[in-house]
Amino acid sequence: DSGVTQTPKHLITATGQRVTLRCSPRSGDLSVYWYQQSLDQGLQFLIQYYNGEERAKGNILERFSAQQFPDLHSELNLSSLELGDSALYFCASTRGLAGSTDTQYFGPGTRLTVL
């Protein structure tokens, strides 16, 4: 158990809908990263927050947005869902920023299926 929690574990929805994925980082970790992993694909970095502020952006679609709250949990919002958005979405956390002595610890993921 990495200490990172993600809810829900599974999510099934229809095209055009909007969903929210939730992540709670390890105790004491200030950074949260979101990744998308499609079938047989690697980890695609989406976005990173550090202590409530956006710090890095990857290949995140405009239909997607995220935020980190004062209690450090984070939410990833996916809207106008398309079939191609079906994937595993992972959250990871670190104590500080990338490049520090800490590494990323990943949550168990949320499997999103868009029908």
Partner 1 sequence: QQQVKQSPQSLIVQKGGISIINCAYENTAFDYFPWYQQFPGKGPALLIAIRPDVSEKKEGRFTISFNKSAKQFSLHIMDSQPGDSATYFCAASGTGTGNQFYFGTGTSLTVIP
CA distances from 82 to 19, 28, 77, 97, 113 (A): 12, 35, 14, 32, 10
Any contact of residue 103 with partner 1 (CB under 8 A)? yes
In the shown chain, the binding pattern of residues 67 to 96 toward partner 1, with x for contact by CB under 8 A and - for none, equals -----------------------x-x----
Any contact of residue 43 with partner 1 (CB under 8 A)? yes
Contact residues toward partner 1 (CB under 8 A) are: 2, 4, 31, 33, 41-43, 45, 48, 50, 55-56, 58, 90, 92, 97-101, 103-109, 111
